[in-house]
Amino acid sequence: MKKKPVKVRLIEKNGNSYQIQFPNLKIPVTVDENLYTKMLHSTEYEFSNTHVKVKSHSFSA
């Protein structure tokens, strides 16, 4: 029997960190860019990317 992929949602990108919402968790999980890339290309996860917040670091003097 084949497993269905877990449906996750990208909530926010902040620099090299990604907040991902899993279906059975109340709070999002923060992962680094390396793990996010692995999850994105894995058949175990299915991403829906609606309304993603993108924050960038501001480097002011």
Count of beta carbons in the 10 Å neighbourhood of residue 13: 17
| C-beta separation of 39 from 20 below 8 A | yes
Q: Backbone phi, then psi, for 56, in 5-degree steps?
A: -120, 155
Q: How far is CA 42 from CA 3, 6, 37, 58, 59, in A?
A: 13, 11, 9, 32, 34
**pLDDT in single tens digits along all 61 residues of the chain:** 678 999 999 999 999 999 999 999 999 999 999 999 999 999 999 999 766 677 766 655 5
Query: Is pTM beyond 0.85 here?
Result: no
d(CA 46, CA 24): 15
